[in-house]
Amino acid sequence: MVLSLVGVVLLFLTKGQIGGLFGSSEEVNQNISNILPVFLISVPFVAISRIATASFYATEQTVLSYVLTFVEPLLMFLLMLILPPLFGGQVMIWWSTVFARIITAVIAIALNLLFSKQKNLRQKSKINC
């Protein structure tokens, strides 16, 4: 989380120069500068979901890892179909990505809590036997 927040701060502070790194025009650079803060909102949530995905995979809970891997693009797709017509066109495409990442992080936290409780219960039952 600390690394993601440091990254967010650095990207926000340099948002006006990022497009120039890739040789974009001044107009494109301005568009990047305007929309980048929207994407930066989701960075800490991406950190949560990526760490949870790796954790599930490392502990051989691959189904949960796959759920988190595939739920984000599915949510993005659904939100990109629903939100722009309802709430304002192009800008909602960008917000759909942010909302999908936030929802994925919430799912990751819920799965982690649910399955860590089950693991703890199994360990306690083994100890009691």
| 32-36, 78-82, 89-93, 118-122 — most confident range | 78-82
Residues 44-60: pLDDT tens digits? 999 999 999 999 999 88
The pLDDT mean for the chain works out to 89
Q: 20 lies in which domain range?
A: 1-38
**How far is Cα 99 from Cα 41, in angstroms, rounded to an integer?**
10
**How far is Cα 15 from Cα 30, in angstroms, rounded to an integer?**
9
Judge if 106 and 91 occupy the same domain. yes
Judge if 65 and 115 occupy the same domain. yes
Judge if 30 and 51 occupy the same domain. no
Judge if 95 and 79 occupy the same domain. yes
Query: How many domains does one find in the chain?
Result: 2
Query: What pLDDT, on the 0 to 100 scale, is given for residue 12?
Result: 92
Residue 92: name the closest of 15, 40, 35, 8 by CA.
Answer: 35
Residue 126 has pLDDT above 70, yes or no: no
Judge if 91 and 123 occupy the same domain. yes
Residue 122 has pLDDT above 70, yes or no: no
In the block, tokens 């799912």 appear at 107
Instruction: Provide CB contacts within 8 A for 43, sequence distance 6+.
Output: 4, 5, 7, 8
Query: What pLDDT, on the 0 to 100 scale, is given for residue 38?
Result: 92
Judge if 98 and 66 occupy the same domain. yes
- Please provide the distance, in angstroms rounded to a whole number, between the alpha carbons at the two ends of the chain: 39
Residue 85 has pLDDT above 80, yes or no: yes
